Protein backbone atom coordinates (compact mmCIF):
# COMPACT_ATOMS: atom_id res chain seq x y z
CA UNK A 1 0.00 0.00 0.00
CA UNK A 2 1.28 3.47 -0.92
CA UNK A 3 0.67 6.82 0.76
CA UNK A 4 -0.09 10.19 -0.81
CA UNK A 5 0.26 13.16 1.57
CA UNK A 6 -1.38 16.58 1.21
CA UNK A 7 -0.44 19.28 3.69
CA UNK A 8 -2.32 22.42 4.54
CA UNK A 9 -2.12 25.64 2.59
CA UNK A 10 0.68 27.55 4.36
CA UNK A 11 4.30 26.88 3.47
CA UNK A 12 5.04 25.58 6.98
CA UNK A 13 2.80 22.63 6.09
CA UNK A 14 5.47 21.39 3.69
CA UNK A 15 7.62 20.41 6.66
CA UNK A 16 4.54 18.85 8.32
CA UNK A 17 3.93 16.67 5.24
CA UNK A 18 7.61 15.71 5.04
CA UNK A 19 7.58 14.76 8.71
CA UNK A 20 4.48 12.61 8.19
CA UNK A 21 6.45 10.88 5.43
CA UNK A 22 9.43 10.30 7.76
CA UNK A 23 7.40 9.19 10.76
CA UNK A 24 4.77 7.04 9.02
CA UNK A 25 6.73 5.88 5.99
CA UNK A 26 7.50 2.49 7.52
CA UNK A 27 3.78 1.64 7.34
CA UNK A 28 3.78 1.94 3.54
CA UNK A 29 5.60 0.63 0.48
CA UNK A 30 6.04 4.11 -0.98
CA UNK A 31 5.19 7.66 0.15
CA UNK A 32 4.63 10.76 -1.99
CA UNK A 33 4.34 14.29 -0.62
CA UNK A 34 2.35 16.59 -2.89
CA UNK A 35 4.18 19.91 -3.21
CA UNK A 36 1.74 22.69 -3.96
CA UNK A 37 2.66 25.10 -6.74
CA UNK A 38 2.33 28.14 -4.49
CA UNK A 39 4.91 26.63 -2.12
CA UNK A 40 7.41 26.63 -4.98
CA UNK A 41 6.50 30.11 -6.26
CA UNK A 42 6.32 31.96 -2.92
CA UNK A 43 2.59 32.41 -3.37
CA UNK A 44 0.30 32.82 -0.40
CA UNK A 45 -2.82 31.01 -1.61
CA UNK A 46 -3.48 27.66 -3.19
CA UNK A 47 -4.95 27.50 -6.68
CA UNK A 48 -7.05 24.36 -6.34
CA UNK A 49 -7.85 24.10 -10.05
CA UNK A 50 -4.14 24.15 -10.98
CA UNK A 51 -3.37 21.57 -8.30
CA UNK A 52 -6.08 19.28 -9.68
CA UNK A 53 -4.39 19.32 -13.09
CA UNK A 54 -1.14 18.03 -11.54
CA UNK A 55 -2.61 15.05 -9.73
CA UNK A 56 -3.11 12.56 -12.59
CA UNK A 57 0.61 12.45 -13.28
CA UNK A 58 1.43 12.24 -9.58
CA UNK A 59 -0.74 9.18 -8.94
CA UNK A 60 0.15 7.45 -12.21
CA UNK A 61 2.84 5.32 -10.57
CA UNK A 62 0.88 4.51 -7.43
CA UNK A 63 -0.85 1.19 -7.06
CA UNK A 64 -3.16 0.78 -4.14
CA UNK A 65 -2.86 3.92 -1.98
CA UNK A 66 -4.37 5.90 0.83
CA UNK A 67 -4.40 9.65 1.29
CA UNK A 68 -3.48 11.55 4.43
CA UNK A 69 -4.52 15.17 4.07
CA UNK A 70 -4.54 18.14 6.39
CA UNK A 71 -6.71 21.25 6.24
CA UNK A 72 -7.15 22.55 2.66
CA UNK A 73 -5.56 19.29 1.48
CA UNK A 74 -8.77 17.55 2.58
CA UNK A 75 -10.78 19.81 0.27
CA UNK A 76 -8.43 19.18 -2.65
CA UNK A 77 -8.58 15.43 -2.03
CA UNK A 78 -12.37 15.38 -1.86
CA UNK A 79 -12.63 17.41 -5.08
CA UNK A 80 -10.17 15.09 -6.84
CA UNK A 81 -12.11 12.01 -5.73
CA UNK A 82 -15.39 13.46 -6.99
CA UNK A 83 -13.75 14.25 -10.33
CA UNK A 84 -12.27 10.71 -10.52
CA UNK A 85 -8.72 12.07 -10.46
CA UNK A 86 -7.89 10.26 -7.23
CA UNK A 87 -9.03 6.77 -6.34
CA UNK A 88 -7.64 5.99 -2.87
CA UNK A 89 -8.52 2.92 -0.83
CA UNK A 90 -8.97 5.02 2.32
CA UNK A 91 -8.55 8.62 3.45
CA UNK A 92 -7.39 10.18 6.68
CA UNK A 93 -8.37 13.83 7.03
CA UNK A 94 -6.93 16.04 9.76
CA UNK A 95 -8.09 19.52 10.69
CA UNK A 96 -11.11 20.12 8.48
CA UNK A 97 -10.85 23.88 7.83
CA UNK A 98 -14.43 24.87 8.58
CA UNK A 99 -13.57 28.58 8.67
CA UNK A 100 -11.45 28.53 5.51
CA UNK A 101 -13.96 26.84 3.21
CA UNK A 102 -15.83 30.09 2.56
CA UNK A 103 -12.64 31.84 1.46
CA UNK A 104 -12.17 29.29 -1.33
CA UNK A 105 -15.81 29.51 -2.36
CA UNK A 106 -16.07 25.77 -2.69
CA UNK A 107 -19.20 23.84 -1.84
CA UNK A 108 -17.28 21.26 0.08
CA UNK A 109 -20.31 19.26 1.17
CA UNK A 110 -20.84 17.87 -2.32
CA UNK A 111 -17.20 16.85 -2.52
CA UNK A 112 -17.10 15.18 0.88
CA UNK A 113 -20.39 13.38 0.12
CA UNK A 114 -18.90 11.90 -3.05
CA UNK A 115 -16.22 9.98 -1.16
CA UNK A 116 -17.13 6.30 -1.30
CA UNK A 117 -14.18 4.87 0.61
CA UNK A 118 -13.65 4.72 4.37
CA UNK A 119 -12.56 8.06 5.81
CA UNK A 120 -11.16 8.84 9.21
CA UNK A 121 -11.62 12.43 10.34
CA UNK A 122 -9.28 13.64 13.07
CA UNK A 123 -9.98 17.02 14.67
CA UNK A 124 -8.59 18.82 17.70
CA UNK A 125 -11.37 19.71 20.12
CA UNK A 126 -10.43 23.41 20.01
CA UNK A 127 -8.91 23.70 16.53
CA UNK A 128 -9.12 27.43 15.65
CA UNK A 129 -10.25 26.63 12.07
CA UNK A 130 -13.06 24.39 13.27
CA UNK A 131 -13.74 22.73 16.59
CA UNK A 132 -14.31 19.01 16.86
CA UNK A 133 -17.93 19.72 17.81
CA UNK A 134 -18.48 21.80 14.68
CA UNK A 135 -16.88 19.17 12.45
CA UNK A 136 -18.94 16.36 14.03
CA UNK A 137 -22.16 18.29 13.43
CA UNK A 138 -21.09 18.98 9.84
CA UNK A 139 -20.31 15.30 9.22
CA UNK A 140 -23.64 14.20 10.66
CA UNK A 141 -25.32 16.32 7.98
CA UNK A 142 -23.33 14.40 5.34
CA UNK A 143 -25.02 11.12 6.20
CA UNK A 144 -23.74 9.37 3.08
CA UNK A 145 -20.07 9.49 4.09
CA UNK A 146 -18.57 6.25 5.47
CA UNK A 147 -16.47 7.73 8.25
CA UNK A 148 -14.93 7.36 11.66
CA UNK A 149 -14.26 10.38 13.83
CA UNK A 150 -11.50 10.91 16.36
CA UNK A 151 -11.48 13.96 18.60
CA UNK A 152 -8.06 14.88 19.94
CA UNK A 153 -7.25 17.24 22.77
CA UNK A 154 -5.72 20.40 21.40
CA UNK A 155 -6.19 24.06 20.65
CA UNK A 156 -4.04 24.28 17.52
CA UNK A 157 -4.31 23.40 13.84
CA UNK A 158 -0.88 21.71 13.89
CA UNK A 159 -1.53 17.94 14.29
CA UNK A 160 2.13 17.34 15.04
CA UNK A 161 1.96 14.43 17.49
CA UNK A 162 3.35 12.05 14.88
CA UNK A 163 3.58 9.10 17.28
CA UNK A 164 -0.11 9.38 18.06
CA UNK A 165 -0.89 9.81 14.36
CA UNK A 166 1.15 6.72 13.49
CA UNK A 167 -0.81 4.63 16.00
CA UNK A 168 -4.15 5.91 14.67
CA UNK A 169 -3.14 5.27 11.05
CA UNK A 170 -1.80 1.78 11.80
CA UNK A 171 -5.09 0.86 13.50
CA UNK A 172 -7.14 2.30 10.61
CA UNK A 173 -5.08 0.38 8.06
CA UNK A 174 -5.65 -2.92 9.88
CA UNK A 175 -9.44 -2.66 9.55
Question: Could you list the residue range(s) of the whole structural domain that residue 53 is in?
Answer: 2-120+162-173
pLDDT at residue number 112: 85
Domain contains 26: yes
Contact assessment for residue 109 and residue 136, using Cβ atoms and an 8 Å cutoff: no
Domain contains 131: no
Q: Is-above-0.85 flag for pTM?
A: yes
Domain contains 23: yes
Domain contains 61: yes
**Mean pLDDT over residues 99-111, rounded?**
67
Domain contains 45: yes
- Counting residues of the chain whose pLDDT is more than 90, the rounded percentage is 76
Burial class (CB in 10 A: 0-12, 13-18, 19+), 141: exposed
Domain contains 133: no
Domain contains 115: yes
pLDDT at residue number 114: 86
CATH number of the CATH domain containing 23: 3.40.1400
**Mean pLDDT over residues 99-112, rounded?**
68
Q: How many domains does the chain fold into?
A: 1
Which residue, 114, 127, 116, is CA-closest to 156?
A: 127
Contact assessment for residue 162 and residue 19, using Cβ atoms and an 8 Å cutoff: yes
Domain contains 155: no
pLDDT at residue number 106: 56
Sequence-separated (6 or more) residues with CB below 8 Å from residue 115:
78, 81, 82, 91, 145, 146
Residue 108 in this model has a pLDDT that exceeds 80: no
pLDDT at residue number 144: 65
**Higher-scoring residue by pLDDT: 107, 30:** 30
Instruction: Please give the Cα distance from 153 to 165 (Å, whole number).
Output: 13
pLDDT tens by residue, 46-94: 999 999 999 999 999 888 999 999 999 999 999 999 999 999 999 999 9
Amino acid sequence: MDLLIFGGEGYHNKSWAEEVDRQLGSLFDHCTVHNYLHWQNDGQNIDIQKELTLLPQEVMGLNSYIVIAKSIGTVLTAMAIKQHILNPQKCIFLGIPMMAVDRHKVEVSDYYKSINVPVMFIQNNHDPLGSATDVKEYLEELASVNYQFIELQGDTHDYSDYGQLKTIVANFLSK
